[in-house]
């Protein structure tokens, strides 16, 4: 991989571990996050580029938005039963800050252009180097960055449609412990790579009655072809040059190739505004995770062409129900709250330390505050907090016989600032 490019994108994307369905990230703006992601029907700020591109028709002037989320995830594992069902292990405490940038411009009558940068898929689970499951995983990460230009068209006052291209960059790192048995030396195996994928987004918003909004959105799958991946090994050097040469001959770095597809997603929403103060919304979102099944890693080394590394995932499709409420206390201040329920993508047999997910519940609240600068620039500040609680999940008969109990939760703090002129 090209290190400078990787470091730049890492800073821009950061990494998100919010325990969303599979490793899909659904938090792309503080306003939507405060509503637990129930935003498909309303989608009335620049983050509509992700939630429903038809929603960017809201803008009557040039609008920009920047935002970030501070995420503190925690996971634990008790087991494995084959050794001692009472061994307790925790992931390292990390803070992640995935960020977003959006801009929306009116270009012609009833036609708006939008551009967004955000991270639609991400995960990160880091265990101690000496934990009981180190030969399965010590660190697993997936980062992404979507470059998403969109257009919206509002042919009539009650309907808007939108669509755009989604160019996505993805990068992964997978690390686990290995042992050089003849010398009883422990090292780290690392597999990493990056790739690009292309997809599209589309959406529609309809307001059949005053205050009532309906929305639908679709995001296509993207295939990532990792043509320049790398497998490497890191062992501590010893004082014995012969031992060092032995290790180097057995554990050789090599180029690798692999590919996999990320799922399509579609959702529907309905919102209603009561008494000019209270707005509620309910959404249903579906993610086609079944496309993420088996992927093979092929190594560019003589004699290894027919011996790829196989990762069996066989995810299952997921769905979530999202509910949000906003109350406009004053003309420039709104309070928000939401809750969501989401199913798990990983089946019991394939659950392992690289993605310890389960069914989850999300609870959120936040506020929005509007102010202006000498009536020239209109600002909107949105703040949100979200607590994600995963079900305790005990598994038996897993593919690696690594049976035990996983428990995870996450705290997220989001801020977005938008301005229009």
Answer for the pair 372, 419: CB distance below 8 angstroms, yes or no. no
Contact predicate 191/173, CB 8 Å: yes
Mean pLDDT value of segment 105-128: 94
> How many C-alpha atoms does 151 have within 13 Å on its Cβ side?
7
Of 15-29, 155-169, 286-300, 308-322, the one with minimum mean pLDDT is 15-29
**Integer Cα distance of 120 and 118 in angstroms:** 6
Mean pLDDT, range 191-211, rounded to an integer: 96
Tell whether the model's pLDDT for residue 6 goes beyond 60: no
Average pLDDT over residues 306-315: 82
Question: How many percent of the chain have pLDDT more than 90?
Answer: 77
Say which residue, 25 or 303, is predicted with more confidence. 25
pLDDT of residue 296 exceeding 80: yes
Question: Structural domain of residue 225, as residue ranges?
Answer: 3-420
Residue 301 has pLDDT above 80, yes or no: no
pLDDT tens for 256-281 read 999 999 999 999 999 999 988 999 99
The average pLDDT across 348-376 equals 93
**pLDDT reading at 306 higher than 80:** no
Structure token digits, residue 112: 């708006």
- Residue 13: per-residue pLDDT: 47
**CATH assignment of the domain containing 241:** 2.40.160.60
Res. 131: pLDDT tops 60:
yes
- Token duo for residue 208: 């059949």
Please compute the mean of the pLDDT values over residues 386-407 and round it to a whole number. 95
Residue 26's pLDDT is what? 92
Structure tokens at 315: 């995810």
Distance CA 8, CA 13 (A): 9
Q: For 232-251, what is the mean pLDDT?
A: 90
What are the tokens at 11?
Answer: 């800073």
Q: Would you say 217 and 266 are in contact if contact means Cβ atoms under 8 Å apart?
A: yes
Give the count of domains, the chain: 1
Indicate the SS3 state at residue 270: strand
Question: What pLDDT digit, counting tens, does each position of 156-200 carry?
Answer: 999 999 999 999 999 999 999 999 888 889 999 999 999 999 999
pLDDT band at 304 (very low <50, low <70, confident <90, very high): very low
Average pLDDT score over the chain: 91
Asked if 335 and 327 touch (Cβ cutoff 8 Å), the reply is yes
Predicted TM-score (pTM) of the model is: 0.91
* Burial track 262-283 (b if 16+ CB lie within 10 A, e otherwise): bbbbbbebbbebeeeeebbbbb
Q: What confidence tens digit (pLDDT) does each residue in 164-173 have?
A: 999 999 999 9
pLDDT > 80? residue 17: no
Q: If DSSP states are collapsed to H, E and C, what string results for the chain? A: CCHHHHHHHHHHHCCCCCCCCCCECCCCCHHHHHCCCCCCCCCCCCCHHHHCHHHHHHCCCCEEEEEEEEEEEEEEEECCCCCCCCCEEEECCCCECCEEEEEEEEEECCEEEEEEEECCECEEEEECCCCCCCCCCCEEEEEEEEEEEEEEEEEECCEEEEEEEEEEEEEEEEEEEEEEHHHCEEEEEEEEEEEEEEEEEEEEEEEEECCEEEEEEEECCEEEEEEEEEEEEECCCCCCHHHHHHHHHHCCCEEEEEEEEECCEEEEEEEEEECCCEEEEEEEEEECHHHCCEEEEEECCCCCCCCCEEEECCCCCEEEEEEEEEEEEECCEEEEEEEEEECCCCCHHHCCCCCCCCCEEEEEEEEEEEEEECCCEEEEEEEEEEEEEECCEEECCCCCCCCEEEEEEEEEEEEEEEEEC
Instruction: Between 301 and 207, name the one with better pLDDT.
Output: 207
What share of the chain in percent tops pLDDT 70? Answer: 94
d(C-alpha 323, C-alpha 342), whole Å:
12
Question: What pLDDT, on a 0 to 100 scale, did the predictor assign at position 181?
Answer: 87
Average pLDDT (3-15) is 43
Contact predicate 219/264, CB 8 Å: yes
How sure is the predictor about 302, in pLDDT bands with cuts at 50, 70 and 90? low
Q: What are phi and psi of 134, to 5 degrees?
A: -65, -20
* pLDDT(21) > 70: no
Q: Which of 95-99, 149-153, 323-327, 402-406 has the lowest mean pLDDT?
A: 95-99
pLDDT value, residue 94: 87
């Amino acid at each position: 991989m090209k290190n400078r490019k990787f470091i730049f994108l890492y800073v821009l994307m950061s990494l998100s571990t919010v325990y969303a369905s599979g490793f899909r990230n659904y938090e792309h703006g503080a306003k939507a996050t405060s509503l637990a992601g129930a935003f498909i029907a309303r989608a009335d700020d620049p983050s509509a580029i992700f939630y429903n591109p038809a929603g960017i028709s809201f803008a009557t002037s040039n609008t920009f938005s920047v935002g970030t989320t501070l995420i503190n995830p925690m996971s634990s594992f008790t087991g494995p039963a084959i050794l001692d069902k009472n061994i307790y292990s925790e992931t390292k405490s990390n803070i992640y800050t995935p960020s977003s940038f959006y801009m929306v411009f009116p270009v012609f009558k009833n036609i708006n252009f939008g551009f967004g940068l955000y991270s639609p898929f991400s995960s990160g689970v880091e265990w101690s180097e000496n934990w009981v499951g180190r030969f399965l995983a010590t660190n697993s990460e997936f980062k992404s960055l979507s470059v998403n230009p969109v257009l919206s068209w509002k042919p009539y006052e009650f309907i808007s449609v939108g669509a755009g291209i989604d160019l996505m960059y993805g990068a992964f790192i997978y690390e686990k412990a290995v042992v050089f048995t003849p010398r009883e030396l422990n090292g780290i195996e690392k597999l990493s790579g990056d790739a690009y994928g292309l997809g599209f987004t589309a959406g529609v918003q309809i307001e059949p009655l005053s205050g009532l909004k309906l929305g639908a959105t679709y995001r296509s799958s993207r295939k990532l072809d990792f043509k320049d991946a790398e497998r490497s090994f890191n062992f501590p050097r010893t004082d014995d040059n012969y031992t060092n040469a032995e290790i180097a001959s057995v554990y050789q770095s090599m180029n690798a190739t692999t590919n996999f597809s990320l799922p399509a997603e579609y959702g529907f929403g309905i919102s209603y505004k009561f008494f000019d103060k209270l707005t509620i919304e309910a959404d249903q979102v579906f993610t086609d995770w079944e496309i993420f099944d088996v992927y093979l890693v092929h190594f560019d080394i003589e004699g290894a062409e027919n011996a790829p590394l196989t990762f069996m995932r066989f995810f299952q499709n997921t769905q979530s129900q999202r509910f949000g409420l906003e109350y406009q206390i004053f003309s420039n201040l709104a309070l928000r709250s939401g809750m969501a329920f989401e199913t798990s993508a990983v089946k019991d047999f394939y659950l392992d330390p690289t993605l310890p997910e389960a069914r989850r519940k999300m609870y959120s609240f936040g506020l929005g505050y509007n102010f202006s600068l000498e009536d020239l620039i209109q600002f909107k500040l949105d703040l949100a907090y979200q607590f994600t609680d995963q079900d305790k999940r005990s598994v038996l008969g897993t593919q690696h016989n690594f049976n035990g109990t996983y428990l995870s939760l996450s705290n997220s703090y989001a801020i977005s600032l938008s301005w229009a002129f």
